[in-house]
């Protein structure tokens, strides 16, 4: 009985607090209309959030991660990641296409994935950007996306801890409570 009353009270409290102080939402950056040049260059991974552990599990094996984003052709971007996994460096690249009929980036080989860009203002960080990846449910009977995660990137490796905290807090307010931040204890990998 006590657990039911407590559960009811916590649900009511959560509902009322959201009504009084609603969660903030990130500001979307539409890739077909933004100045893409300002986002080219080096980015350091800071944190990832999701509803489920499976969406961010692959980041747990990393110590640090940085990317370069470059324009390779008309409406094509190349994202190259340099990952520190233990003592090893791993390099991987992804090609994104900007299409006039979509507001997100289209990942080559995964056209069903939505890759949305959001302003770093959600993390109180003007030198940050947030990438959201969403994949539709695996079957028509599923009600939940098969992938839904937000990843925060910054121009510096040592971004202010309050920015990461703001990102995690805003995500948690939107029910994305599973998160990972990288330890960054080892040297960053150089270009391989």
pLDDT at 161 over 50: yes
Q: Classify the phi-psi angles of 42: left when phi > 0, otherwise alpha if psi is within -120 to 50, otherwise beta.
A: beta
Residue 101 pLDDT more than 50? yes
Confidence band for 172, pLDDT divided at 50, 70 and 90: very high
pLDDT score recorded for residue 32: 84
Q: In the structure, what pLDDT confidence band is assigned to residue 12 with cuts at 50, 70 and 90? A: very low
Superfamily of domain 26-181: Calycin beta-barrel core domain (2.40.128.20)
Distance CA 79, CA 10 (A): 43
Per-residue CA distances from 7 to 12, 75, 133, 157 (Å): 9, 50, 32, 41
Using an 8 Å Cβ cutoff, are 41 and 124 in contact? no
pLDDT score recorded for residue 192: 54
Q: pLDDT at position 137, please?
A: 81
pLDDT at 154: 97
pLDDT at 5: 47
- What per-residue confidence (pLDDT) applies to 14? 46
Residue 49 has pLDDT above 90, yes or no: yes
- The arithmetic mean of pLDDT across residues 74-84, rounded, is 94
Instruction: Work out the mean pLDDT of the chain and round it to a whole number.
Output: 88
Tell me how crowded residue 41 is: count the other CB atoms within 10 A of its CB. Answer: 11
- Rounded Cα–Cα distance for residues 135 and 146 (Å): 5
Place of tokens 């860009």: 117
Per-residue pLDDT band for 20 (boundaries 50, 70, 90) equals low
């Amino acid at each position: 009985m006590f657990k039911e009353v407590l559960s009811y009270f916590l649900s009511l409290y959560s509902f009322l607090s959201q009504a009084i102080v609603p969660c903030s939402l990130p500001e979307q950056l539409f890739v077909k209309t933004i100045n893409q040049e300002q986002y080219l260059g080096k980015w350091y991974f800071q944190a990832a959030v999701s509803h489920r552990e499976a969406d961010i599990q692959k980041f747990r094996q990393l110590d640090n991660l940085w990317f370069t984003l470059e324009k390779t052709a008309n409406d094509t971007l190349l994202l190259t990641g340099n990952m520190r996994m233990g003592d090893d460096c791993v390099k991987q690249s992804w090609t994104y296409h900007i299409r006039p009929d979509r507001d997100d980036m289209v990942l080559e080989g995964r056209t069903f994935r939505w890759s949305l860009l959001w302003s770093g203002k959600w993390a109180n960080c003007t030198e940050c950007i947030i990438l959201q990846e969403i994949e539709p449910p695996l079957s028509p009977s599923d009600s939940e996306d098969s992938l839904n995660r937000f990843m925060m990137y910054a121009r510096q490796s040592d971004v202010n801890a309050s920015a990461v905290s703001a990102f995690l807090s805003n995500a948690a307010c939107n029910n994305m409570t599973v998160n990972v931040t990288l330890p960054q204890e080892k040297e960053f990998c150089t270009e391989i």
